[in-house]
Amino acid sequence: MNKEVKYDFFYKQTNHHLVQQYFSLRTEAFIEQWGLKNFSGAEDQYDSNAVIIIAHKDGVCVGGARMIINQVGSNSLLPVETDKFRIANLLPELDLYKNKYAELSRIAMLKEYRNGEYSAEMYRRLIDVKARALGIDFLFCVTTMKLARTSRLTLRKLNLPFEIKSNLKVPDLPTYEGHKMVLSLIDLTKVSSTEYQEGKKVEDLIC
């Protein structure tokens, strides 16, 4: 791991220069990697309450991702959800109405940092450290099948379960621009923390 790359979390700090760089980066990355034509990675309604991780070097954002949390008892929707596509209803066995869960999204890296090493480290810190510290048991993400399979391989190396829910039909939202998407589940209740667990307190996050 390149020691010069640092990783920091931001919560309700969307005006921070690194977060602003991340918003620009995800526009560039999604258009380039997915071939999207109308995608905008600018700040949206979810960013203000998301836990955002930024990978940065020499004051420049080289990657980032966000985690949007659904609180117990909340009626708010995650980005993938619609009135007819509620994860808690589709996966009743997880009893999500009584558990805190979240969606991971907008994962983006500068082209020269897309070798898997840095995104894996972001996953580790965001999932196996921060999500656990916040008491989140279930994480979901929506990607193409190809990216879901890549993520499954990456998380397997971190001893984190990644299940592709290919039986659930993800709504065809405008932001997907016709790409067929799949929902995947990371169930943190199935495994204990890895050897990398940092055990640090969450910095001023009230989630």
What pLDDT was estimated at residue 193?
63
Digit-coded pLDDT (tens) for 2-50: 569 999 999 999 999 999 999 999 999 999 888 888 899 999 999 999 9
Distance between CA atoms of residues 93 and 90, nearest Å = 9
3-state DSSP percent of the chain in helix, strand and coil, to 5: 35, 25, 40
**Average of per-residue pLDDT across 54-59:** 96
What pLDDT was estimated at residue 2?
56
Distance between CA atoms of residues 36 and 178, nearest Å = 9
Which fold, 6-190?
Answer: Aminopeptidase (3.40.630)
Does residue 202 surpass a pLDDT of 80?
Answer: no
Digit-coded pLDDT (tens) for 129-169: 999 999 999 999 999 999 999 999 989 888 899 999 999 99
The answer to whether the CB of 191 falls within 8 A of the CB of 160 is yes
| Distances 35 to 31, 32, 95 between C-alpha atoms, Å | 5, 5, 37
Does residue 201 surpass a pLDDT of 50?
Answer: no
Distance between CA atoms of residues 69 and 46, nearest Å = 10
Kindly list the domain boundaries of the chain, sorted by start residue.
Answer: 6-190
What pLDDT was estimated at residue 175?
87
Digit-coded pLDDT (tens) for 77-119: 999 999 999 999 999 999 999 999 999 999 999 999 988 889 8
Does residue 196 surpass a pLDDT of 50?
Answer: no
**Listed residue (165, 171, 168, 136) closest to 152, CA to CA:** 165
Q: Which two tokens stand for residue 191?
A: 């495994």
What pLDDT was estimated at residue 33?
83
Residue 201 DSSP one-character state: P
